[in-house]
Every structure is written in C-alpha cells, then in structure tokens.
C-alpha cells in the first residue's frame, strides 16, 4: 500500500485484487447483457405492452371466485400435508446425518439423501412426480415433501452437530439407553431451532404450493397459468391478490406459532396489539 | 423462555410448573390447530389411490426411458441454454443489488428517520418477496416477450425484496459511534455513507449477494418453463416431445451447476469475507 501526500496510508484505498475484481465484473456485465438482445425498439414495445397489460389487469375480476377458492384450498392442503410429512421424515434423516451421534455408515447415506432432495427446485421435482403419479395434488404433495426433507434435514443436522456434549455425556453416564440420550440430552437442545425452521418451511411450502400447479401438480398455480395463457388478465390479477393474501396470512400464523413455542406467549399475548415484536432471524431463502 | 412458575396446590404446598396455565392453553391450541389442519387436509384432498399404486411402476418406466442419457445432445443446444441460465442468475442478482441498495437505505430507520418513508420502502420489499419468481417471469414474458431478458428481470425483481430486507437490517444494526464521529467532524451525507456506514455493512452486503446468487442459480433453471429463457426452455421442449434421455442430460447439467455454484459460494465466502 502506498502512502498519500501526508505520509499516511489511506485506509480506504481499494486493494489491487479488489480493483481487478471490479473490472472483471464490469466486463462480465457488458458481455452478458450483449447476449440479452436488448434494443431500444424492444423497450418501447415492452412499455406499450406493459401499459396495455396493466390496463387489462384492473379492475381485478372475482367473478369466478369458486374456481379461485377451490385452487387456494388445494394449495393450502398441499402445503399442510407436505410440511407434515416432510417434517416427520426429515427428523430421522437429519438425526442419521449428524456426525457427532452417528457412525459413518449412517451419516453418508443420510447426507446423500439430503443433498439429493435439496439440489432440484421443487417445480422440477414436481415435473417428475407428475409423470410418476399423474396430474393432481398428490404430485405437488410429494414434490414439496422432498423439498422439506432436504431443507429441514440439512438444518436439523447442523443444529444437532452444534449441541453441547456435556448434557449428552451426563445422560449417558447415568446408563441411559440411546433413545433416552436422544430424548433428554439431544432434542431439548435443538427444539427451539427446530420450531424455527419448521414454521419457516411451512411458509415456504405455502409459497411453492401456489406454484407447482404450473406443471400440473395441483393447487392454484394451474388456474393462474391457464388464465395467463388465455389473456384473462383481470382474473390473473384476482388470483395474484388471493395468493399474496394467503401467503401473508401464513406468515402471520407462523409468527404466532413461534411466539407461543419460543417466547411462551399466551393466546391473549397473540391477539393484543401491544404484543412483543418477534425479530425472527432469517434462515435460508426467504 | 420464561422462568418456571411456582403455584400453590390444594394443600398449600408449592408445585413447580414449567409453563403458566395461559401458556399451556396457547400450546394446546396450537397443537390442536395443527392436528385439525392435517386431518382436514387429508380428508378433503383429492388423491386418486390407483395412481399411487401405479407410482413405482411409472417411476421405473421413467428411469428406463431416461437411461442412457443422450450426451450427444449436450454440445449443440444444452450447453448454450445452461450458460444462458447462469447469465440470467448473475445479471439478475447484480441488477437486484443495484436496485435494492437505495430501497434498503430508505427502509433503515436510523438512516432515514421518517416512518412513512420506511413503511413505503418496506412495502416495496414485501411486495417483491411475496410474488414468486415464476409469477414475475410470467409478467415479464407478457411484457417483453419470451427470452432471457424476461428471466433476468424476474430474478432481479424477486431478489430486490430479499437483498433490500437483509441489507436494511444490516444498516440498522450498524454502530452509531463512527457515524457520530463523522457528523461531529462536519462530514457531509455522502462521506457519512461511504466512510461511516459502508465499511460496517460491506461484509454483510457481499455475503447477502453471494447467498442470493446461489438461490438464483437454482431458481433461474425453472424460469424457462414459462418461457423466460435458460435451460428450463430446453427442459420444457424435451419433455413435451417425451425425449426423456435428453431430460436426463438436462437434469444432470442443472445438478452439476447447482453443486458448482454452492462450491464457488463456500470458497469465496471462506477466502474473501
């Protein structure tokens, strides 16, 4: 680092590597945007399309509310069932993958299952299940169950690997069998984090359950996609409003569950306006 | 977790309980609601049992059709689509970073001490996050036509909420000391930002960016299903033509890119941040 005029180092001077990285980034942006086929003409027609598009979206059309409600309910069912199955199945898998409790012959297969479940987007998994079990909610439930196993399994494993050994050793020293070591030494230490990522996963499944319908796996997504393709933009707008409100209700309920289990809130606390605000630590994704 | 509450029982002796009766009632209500939701969902969901019985056979059929993967097809079309997916994810993330910076600043209460402005910024962030990237993609395909541009904008608009929210929270957690020192020295707003706030939030900012890029690589692979460019379009056309051996190549390619992105992110985080 060179000295400035006053003979002191400039602490805010960018390092050589940082400058190289910035230049590389700029070159990449220019190169990648040149492949996007962006032209002035396209922007102008795009803006015209956009104004027509939004003009047709408003006012939202709730005439086919029965179809809308049916789709929303199916999405909700997919989210609830896939979260329930996913959490139940993720518990043993996550436990088997924890290196501090299990031998290598158990952790490697369990870790492989978790990586395999995590690597594909739920919509791609849904495509495969649509082929396997046909169109409908079942494919969506299975796809989101797989996604839940991957996500909760990974975080549950990490949580177990971070626990303190002292309590586990203390329970073991009393001659407790393995099941008791788990129930009294391990699970109490990870319970609060488990609640955190389970509610988070429910929230995430709710979001994705409104989307898997695009590939035919049930829920409101199919209705949305069909409305888009038929240019029923006012119905699209109604569906979007419904989806967003469903997701927001889901978020409020997830926060409520966290308050009850993690902060010991009573029902009165939940419904009082002055209730303590929960600052929830962001997990993966959002 | 609140402390245990002593309660006197009928004989006047103290009994220790972990939760108050109000807390126990709340826990019971949550458990009841969960069980009720699951039972209601099982009873009303429309599942055709015959399809479930058939599933293993269909899965086996799927895998025999996928094997062996049609590698010959990779160089001519799939490689290009894969690169396009990476461009969509990277450009979308960069665009989101640029757009999210000002919104994140407006959402931070210690920087902009005005509640209406904060709420407005938070409204932008929440609406960006509540709309799935596939829906954003549908919107932009409607506006700009099918192609990578729609995908890039979809990724960017979906990411603004995520980046802006986390960046705003990082700004709010910045220590006031250096900023007060700068203010006392008469530094203008720009200097307070670049020398007071930015050094404090820079690691968080780059870590959020990497994190979001990793998510976007996964998400951009499916955008093509609605026509927004990238490898999803190749996947969609291969599936519509029942070319399952090509589908297998595409899935392996997506898997490889996702794993590679995760390795890159872990390495960069370890070395730089």
In tens, the pLDDT along B8-66 reads 555 666 778 777 888 888 888 888 988 988 888 888 877 777 777 777 888 888 888 88
Q: Which of B138, B191, B271 to mutate to test the interface with A (most CBs of A within 10 A)?
A: B138
- The mean pLDDT of B231-244, rounded to a whole number, is 85
Percent of chain A with pLDDT strictly greater than 90? 11
- The residue among A22 and A53 whose pLDDT is bigger is A22
- The mean pLDDT of B235-247, rounded to a whole number, is 85
State residue A280's pLDDT score. Answer: 45
State residue A284's pLDDT score. Answer: 43
Q: For A190-226, what is each residue's pLDDT tens digit? A: 888 888 888 888 888 988 888 888 888 888 888 888 8
pLDDT category, A279, cuts 50, 70, 90?
A: very low
* B228 in Cβ contact with B154 (< 8 Å): yes
Report chain B's mean pLDDT, rounded to a whole number: 84
Q: Distance from CA of residue B91 to its chain's centroid?
A: 16
Percent of chain B with pLDDT strictly greater than 90? 12
Q: For B78-87, what is each residue's pLDDT tens digit? A: 888 888 899 9
pLDDT category, A82, cuts 50, 70, 90?
A: very high
- Put simply, the answer to whether A286 touches B161 (Cβ < 8 Å) is yes
Q: Domains of chain B: which residue ranges?
A: 5-46, 73-271
The nearest CA of chain A is from the CA of B222 a distance in Å of: 7
- Put simply, the answer to whether B144 touches A207 (Cβ < 8 Å) is no
Q: For A90-128, what is each residue's pLDDT tens digit? A: 999 999 988 888 888 888 999 989 988 888 888 888 988
State residue B7's pLDDT score. Answer: 55
| pLDDT at A5 > cutoff 60 | no
Q: For A151-188, what is each residue's pLDDT tens digit? A: 999 889 988 888 888 888 999 999 989 889 888 888 88
| pLDDT at A3 > cutoff 70 | no
- The mean pLDDT of A233-258, rounded to a whole number, is 86
| pLDDT at A274 > cutoff 80 | no
pLDDT category, A149, cuts 50, 70, 90?
A: very high
- The architecture of the domain spanning B73-271 is Orthogonal Bundle (1.10)
Q: For B132-188, what is each residue's pLDDT tens digit? A: 888 889 888 888 888 888 899 999 999 998 999 899 888 888 888 888 888 899 888
A276 CB-near residues (< 8 Å, 6+ apart): A259, A263, A265, A269
| pLDDT at B105 > cutoff 60 | yes
Buried b (16+ CB within 10 A) or exposed e, A175-202: ebeeeebbeebbeebbeebbebbbbbbb
Single out the residue of A72, A90, A213 nearest to residue A141, CA to CA: A213
- Residue carrying structure tokens 């739920």: A122
| Cβ-based contacts of B144 with chain A (< 8 Å) | 42, 46, 49
- Put simply, the answer to whether B221 touches A77 (Cβ < 8 Å) is no
- Put simply, the answer to whether B30 touches A261 (Cβ < 8 Å) is yes
Buried b (16+ CB within 10 A) or exposed e, B16-27: eeebeeebeebb
B239 to chain A: closest CA residue: A127
| pLDDT at A1 > cutoff 70 | no
The ipTM estimated for the assembled molecules is 0.78
State residue B93's pLDDT score. Answer: 93
pLDDT category, A11, cuts 50, 70, 90?
A: low
The nearest CA of chain B is from the CA of A155 a distance in Å of: 16
- Residue carrying structure tokens 């015209």: A48
pLDDT category, A2, cuts 50, 70, 90?
A: very low
State residue A250's pLDDT score. Answer: 85
For chain A, domains (ranges, CATH) are: 16-57 (no CATH), 65-271 (1.10.3720.10)
Q: Which of B5, B20, B23, B249 to mutate to test the interface with A (most CBs of A within 10 A)?
A: B23
Minimum-distance CB partner of A136 among B46, B139, B166: B46
| pLDDT at A283 > cutoff 50 | no
- Put simply, the answer to whether A268 touches B132 (Cβ < 8 Å) is no
Q: Which of B135, B211, B218, B224 to mutate to test the interface with A (most CBs of A within 10 A)?
A: B135
B152 to chain A: closest CA residue: A36
| Whole-number Å distance between alpha carbons of B17 and A189 | 19
């Amino acid at each position: 680092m060179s000295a400035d005029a006053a003979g002191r180092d400039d602490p805010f001077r960018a390092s050589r590597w940082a400058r190289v990285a910035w230049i590389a980034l700029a070159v990449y942006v220019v190169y990648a945007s040149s492949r996007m086929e962006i032209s002035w003409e396209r922007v102008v027609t795009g803006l015209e399309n956009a104004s027509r598009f939004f003009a047709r979206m408003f006012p939202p059309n709730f005439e086919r509310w029965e179809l809308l409600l049916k789709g929303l309910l199916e999405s909700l069912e997919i989210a609830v069932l896939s979260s329930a199955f996913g959490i139940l199945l993720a518990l043993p898998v996550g436990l088997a993958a924890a290196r501090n409790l299990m031998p290598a012959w158990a952790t490697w297969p369990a870790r492989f299952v978790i990586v395999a479940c995590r690597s594909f987007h739920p919509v791609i998994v849904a495509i495969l299940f649509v082929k396997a079990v046909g169109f409908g909610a079942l494919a969506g439930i299975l796809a989101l169950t797989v996604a839940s196993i991957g996500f909760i399994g990974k975080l549950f494993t990490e949580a177990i690997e971070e626990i303190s050994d002292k309590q586990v050793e203390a329970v073991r020293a009393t001659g407790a069998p393995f099941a008791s070591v788990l129930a009294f030494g391990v699970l109490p230490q990870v319970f609060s984090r488990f609640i955190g990522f389970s509610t988070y996963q429910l929230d995430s499944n709710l979001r994705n359950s409104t989307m898997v319908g695009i590939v035919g796996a049930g829920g409101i997504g199919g209705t949305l996609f069909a409305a888009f393709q038929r240019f029923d933009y006012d119905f699209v707008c109604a569906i979007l409003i419904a989806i967003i409100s469903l997701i927001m209700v889901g978020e409020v309920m997830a926060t409520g569950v966290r308050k009850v289990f993690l902060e010991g809130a009573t029902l009165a606390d939940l419904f009082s306006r002055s209730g303590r605000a929960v600052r929830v630590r962001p997990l993966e994704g959002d | 977790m609140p402390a245990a509450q002593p309660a006197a029982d009928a004989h006047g002796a103290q009994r220790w309980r972990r939760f108050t009766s109000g807390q126990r009632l709340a826990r019971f209500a949550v458990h009841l609601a969960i069980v009720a939701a699951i039972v209601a969902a099982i009873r009303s969901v429309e599942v055709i049992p015959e399809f479930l019985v058939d599933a293993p056979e269909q899965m086996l059929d799927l895998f025999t059709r996928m094997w062996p993967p049609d590698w010959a097809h990779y160089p001519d079309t799939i490689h290009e689509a894969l690169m396009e997916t990476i461009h969509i994810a990277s450009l979308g993330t960069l665009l989101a970073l640029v757009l999210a910076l000002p919104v994140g600043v407006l959402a931070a209460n210690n920087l902009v001490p005005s509640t209406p402005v904060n709420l407005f910024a938070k409204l932008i962030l929440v609406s960006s996050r509540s709309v799935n990237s596939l829906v954003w993609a549908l919107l932009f395909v409607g506006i700009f036509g099918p192609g990578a541009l729609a995908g890039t904008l979809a990724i960017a608009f979906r990411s603004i909420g995520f980046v802006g929210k986390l960046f705003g929270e990082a700004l709010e957690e910045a220590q006031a000391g250096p900023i007060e020192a700068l203010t006392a020295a008469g530094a203008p707003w720009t200097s307070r930002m670049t020398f007071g706030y930015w050094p404090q939030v820079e690691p968080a900012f780059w870590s959020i960016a990497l994190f979001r890029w990793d998510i976007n690589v996964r998400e951009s692979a499916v955008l093509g299903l609605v026509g927004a460019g990238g490898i999803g379009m190749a996947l969609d056309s291969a599936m519509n033509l029942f070319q399952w051996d090509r589908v297998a190549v595409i899935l392996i390619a997506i898997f490889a890119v996702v794993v590679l992105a995760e390795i890159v992110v872990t390495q960069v985080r370890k070395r730089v941040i």
